[in-house]
A and B are shown apart, each in its own frame.
Chain A
Amino acid sequence: MTFAADLLIAQNIAFYMIAAMMIFGAVKVVTVKNMVHAALWLVVVFGAMAAQFILLAAEFIAVTQVLVYIGAIVVLFLFGIMLTRAPMGRSDELDNGPSAKIVAIVVGAVLAGVLGFALWDGFGDDEFGEFAVQRTAEVSDSIFSTYLIPFEVISVLLLGALIGAIVLARRD
């Protein structure tokens, strides 16, 4: 067997292990009865997502994922849990009633069926072919040339969100 075929098998094994971990973690996030545990399962999902980005040879996005999602957003969630004095232990007040849960399961299942059919119909078994590593330099070149204006708009959006969050959370 050639080296490329060996690498493909290794990639596939890694993909399925990480994917199983992600789906398990995501199900835990939406079902667990303890809010702090939900935030910690979210870390598992985000970390595994970064690993998938590495598998897709997108190094810069993987690092950004760890920095922004695990480093900033999850910490923000933990602060949110603390500041709203959420129940620290198990609580049955976090979920809607059984009827709403059934509706949610039906909506999720129908959506999964439709999306799955569309993806299967549209992409069948298209292969990636040879993986090309997309270097950070290429990404930054693209941001600061082709996508310069959207980048500036995002900067203004972040500033607006910052000011909005301060105005909303200010005590007066």
Chain B
Amino acid sequence: MLINQFLFLGAVLFCIGVYGVLARRNGVLVLMSIELILNSVNINLIAFGQLHKDVSGQVFALFIIAVAAAEVGVGLAIVMMLYRNRRSIDIDEVDLMKG
């Protein structure tokens, strides 16, 4: 198998995630797209770990999974705050810091 098969798959998923972040307006859906991006990075790390026959790739993937879990916890808490204060999670309406 070619390593590029897995790397291209990761790249395509990353780009789909970036599209989702830019095209979606709902806060929870933006967080879902961010999860797609984070997960597509893992496949690269595992593929390189297999290429070099080294377990470091897997350890780094585990760290990314842990960081992703922390990120989604705090992110959803922020979205919840947003909903409580504005009764909407439309992130286009969050323009308090716009000059």
Contact = CB atoms under 8 A, between A and B. Distances in A.
B62 A108 contact: no
Contacts of B17: 26, 30
Contacts of B47: 56
**Interface size for chain A: under 10, 10 to 19, 20 to 34, or 35 or more residues?**
35 or more
Q: Is the interface of A mostly helix, strand, loop or mixed?
A: helix
Contacts of A89: none
B79 A80 contact: yes
Contact of B24 (A19, A64, A96, A120): A96
Contacts of B20: 29-30
B94 interface: no
The range of chain B's interface size is 35 or more
Most B Cβ at <10 Å: residue of A52, A68, A108, A162:
A108
Interface string A106-118: 0111011001100
Interface of A: 8, 11-12, 15, 19, 22-23, 26-27, 29-30, 35, 38-39, 42, 45-46, 49, 52-53, 56-58, 60-61, 64-65, 68-69, 72-73, 76-77, 79-81, 83-86, 93-96, 100-101, 103-105, 107-109, 111-112, 115-116, 119-120, 123-128, 131-132, 134, 138-139, 141-143, 146-147, 150-151, 154, 157-158, 160-162, 164-166, 168-169, 171
18 contacts: A30-B36, A52-B43, A56-B6, A56-B47, A61-B61, A73-B68, A77-B72, A94-B25, A96-B24, A105-B19, A111-B14, A125-B2, A126-B4, A127-B2, A143-B59, A157-B67, A158-B69, A164-B74
Given A49-B42, A61-B62, 9 more contacts: A86-B28, A93-B90, A96-B24, A105-B19, A111-B15, A116-B11, A119-B8, A143-B59, A147-B56
Interface of B: 1-9, 11-29, 31-33, 35-36, 39, 42-43, 46-47, 49-51, 53, 55-56, 58-59, 61-63, 65-74, 76-81, 83-84, 89-90, 92
